Amino acid sequence: MIEHLQPAALALAQARHVVVITGAGVSAESGIRTFRDTMEGLWKDFDPARLATPEAFAADPATVTRWYDWRRLGCLAAEPNPGHVALAKLEAWLSETNRTFTLLTQNVDRLHHKAGSRNVIELHGSIIEWRCTRTGRKSTPPNAPFDEFPPRSEAGAPLRPDVVWFGEALPQPALDAAEHAMHTCDLFMSVGTSSVVYPAAGFAELARYRGAPVIEVNPAPTSLTRTATWSLRGRSGQILPHLLNAAMA
Ligand SMILES: NC(=O)c1ccc[n+]([C@@H]2O[C@H](COP(=O)([O-])OP(=O)(O)OC[C@H]3O[C@@H](n4cnc5c(N)ncnc54)[C@H](O)[C@@H]3O)[C@@H](O)[C@H]2O)c1
């Protein structure tokens, strides 16, 4: 029995413009580590805040790109879990009935795409794509370890992961698309994110301000819990399929 499941499912069934934001927690059941958990084994002596910065890349591109290549290969090997799949099914169901669905993700792993989600806005970029530090041209490296660190682009310049590093601005097209979706949002759902990182954290506040119900899915309380309409406690791979089934019933 999941507390608050029924009222949340009813709101989802009645919504016309659904916006969902996801964070690292939605991929935890696919074996992708949250930021804090990546710092073990080989990388236990490193601090993510000191690897995921433009300054770290400038100072030691070899170490930074080795860390990202290791994480990239982990993401490529991972499979979507029932939480990702439920969100893809939710989108398909809403679009069949002429309703809209926008998925804002802070994840860089591309697992939402792999699960079949279509309208995905990557707020923090993607670790699967890399970009030339000279021309800005993006490319998708093959699914094999790099043989040089940093790898080089066709232009001969170092490649960097197409992710947003600490201290960098979020991509403007993604922010514009997210803000556009928030204009009409009449139900907001926050899944597997600690809701501390702005501006992502601000979307839930904006939804509440607009009077839209906010559903939180997380095994632990977060800074959103106090203002969310319903907090569904548990793993997203367990809660989301139940929520979807109840909404579609
Ligand atoms: N998968 C990825 O792409 C990935 C992985 C690591 C870090 N990051 C980056 O790290 C930053 C950290 O912010 P964040 O809020 O995404 O992550 P976070 O690490 O701050 O928070 C993760 C949240 O997930 C919850 N959680 C853990 N297991 C869960 C489960 N099974 N189901 C649902 N929720 C679960 C935790 O309680 C926590 O609130 C982001 O900017 C993101 O870009 C991304």
Average pLDDT over the chain reads 94
- Whether ligand 1 lies within 6 angstroms of the CB of 30 is answered as no
Ligand 1: which residue has its CA nearest to atom 24? 25
**Would you say the CB of residue 143 lies under 6 angstroms from ligand 1?**
no
Domains 5-31+80-124+170-248 and 36-77+130-163 belong to one CATH topology: no
Q: Tell me what percent of the residues of the chain surpass a pLDDT of 70.
A: 95
Q: What is the mean pLDDT of the segment spanning 58-74? A: 95
* CA of 24 relative to ligand 1 center, distance in Å: 2
Q: Is the CB of 117 under 6 A from ligand 1?
A: no
**Could you report the per-residue pLDDT of 119-134, keeping only the tens digit for each?**
999 999 999 999 999 9
The CATH code for residues 36-77+130-163 is 3.30.1600.10
Is pLDDT above 60 for 38? no
For the chain, the domains span: 5-31+80-124+170-248, 36-77+130-163
Closest CA to 196 of 33, 18, 23, 38: 23
Ligand 1 centroid from CA 134, angstroms: 31
Residue 35's pLDDT band, with cuts at 50, 70 and 90, is low
Q: Does residue 197 surpass a pLDDT of 80? A: no
pLDDT at 82 over 80: yes
- Whole-number pLDDT of residue 43: 65
Q: What is the mean pLDDT of residues 36-41?
A: 59
111: tokens are: 């697992």
Two tokens, residue 210: 């607009």
Q: Whose CA is nearest to atom 16 of ligand 1?
A: 23
| Backbone φ and ψ of 216, nearest 5° | -110, 135
Q: pLDDT band for 15, please (50, 70, 90 cuts).
A: very high
User: Domain 5-31+80-124+170-248 in CATH: superfamily?
Assistant: TPP-binding domain (3.40.50.1220)
Whole-model pTM: value is 0.94
What values do phi and psi take at 102, rounded to 5?
-130, 130
Q: State the distance from the centre of ligand 1 to the C-alpha of 110, rounded, in angstroms.
A: 14
